[in-house]
Amino acid sequence: MSKIEIKNLNKNFKFGKDKILKDINLSFDSNKIYGLFGENGAGKSTLMNLIADYTFPTDGQVTLDNENVHDNDKALSKIYYMNQNNMYPKNEKVKKIFELTKSIYKDYDVQLQDKLVKKFQLNIKTRFNKLSTGYKSIVKIIIALCVPCEFIILDEPTLGLDARNRDIFYRELIESYSEEPRTFIISTHIIEEIDKLVSNVVMIADGKVVLNDTSDNIRAKAYSVNGPMDLVSDYTKDLSVIGKESLGQYVTIDVMGSLPNKKVPSGVKVTKIELQKLIVNLMNKDGANDN
């Protein structure tokens, strides 16, 4: 089974000693869907660029099946990176871009491409630079789902897409993954839309990995405790608090870890936290710690 491993990786800013990424150690296993989360500037795009060999680490390395990906055509042929930059010829028609991609990838799925073109209602005779932001994303999405690569990295794949086309994308991604499992690494700020989709979660804050676990494990240890302030505060006093909201004498405290081995007080309600709220809480917590 193929695996991408990131070992002791550091990346400095171009003309400085300050680090964008700090001692990153991660692995991305075969046939899983990862959510890669973090605030703008946290280092997500830099990490994705390093995996795809678009930029180079200051220290450490990225390997695929124990081979360094840098200048390694064999390894890089297994990785496809859909990013926010427009890397296609601006004046080229979409049809020509598809043909060019097909000529590069031997087992490119033309049948799936044609199906997606119809579903997204994409006019392939349009020049790429004449497309809206959403339809530029759609062209990239179609290619990402059709290339025969084992690792697909998607950076804000739904940028500019309306609700209908976002729904098509997620449905087609699930169907494509079910028919031909491979690894997807999805970075997005619309966390609630991929909450039930991802099997693993990686979160980066201030250039460091602050969360790396299966989504099931994360959900199993993240809770909201709601009720009268005094009762909730007492019940959660020894827990790891990641968020707090107050409304009059009532409070909601979000915690991460094991719940106390004692009875929940009458009038206090304990519920699981949705992934979106959990990630936002952790972002705010790390941001508060930095100040």
Residues 120, 44 share a domain = yes
Per-residue pLDDT at 286 exceeds 90 = no
Q: CATH code at 210? A: 3.40.50.300
Residues 91, 127 share a domain = yes
pLDDT for the residue numbered 25: 97
Residues 14, 147 share a domain = yes
Residues 118, 58 share a domain = yes
pLDDT for the residue numbered 289: 41
Last residue of a domain, one of 215, 239, 264: 215
Residues 15, 53 share a domain = yes
Query: Which pTM does this prediction carry?
Result: 0.90
Domain of 264? Answer: 221-290
Tens digits of residue pLDDT in 25-59: 999 999 999 999 998 888 999 999 999 999 999 99
Tens digits of residue pLDDT in 64-82: 999 999 999 999 999 999 9
Tens digits of residue pLDDT in 152-209: 999 999 999 999 999 999 999 999 999 999 999 999 988 888 988 999 999 999 999 9
Residues 133, 29 share a domain = yes
Tens digits of residue pLDDT in 81-93: 998 777 778 789 9
pLDDT for the residue numbered 40: 87
pLDDT for the residue numbered 207: 92
Per-residue pLDDT at 14 exceeds 80 = no
pLDDT for the residue numbered 154: 97
Per-residue pLDDT at 291 exceeds 80 = no
Residues 243, 201 share a domain = no
Last residue of a domain, one of 215, 247, 282: 215
Per-residue pLDDT at 245 exceeds 90 = yes
Residues 232, 106 share a domain = no
Per-residue pLDDT at 17 exceeds 80 = no
pLDDT for the residue numbered 244: 93
Residues 234, 131 share a domain = no
Residues 284, 209 share a domain = no
Last residue of a domain, one of 154, 182, 215: 215
Residues 160, 262 share a domain = no
Per-residue pLDDT at 133 exceeds 60 = yes
Residues 286, 188 share a domain = no
- The structural domain count of the chain equals 2
**Chain centroid, CA 158 distance in Å:** 12
pLDDT for the residue numbered 61: 95
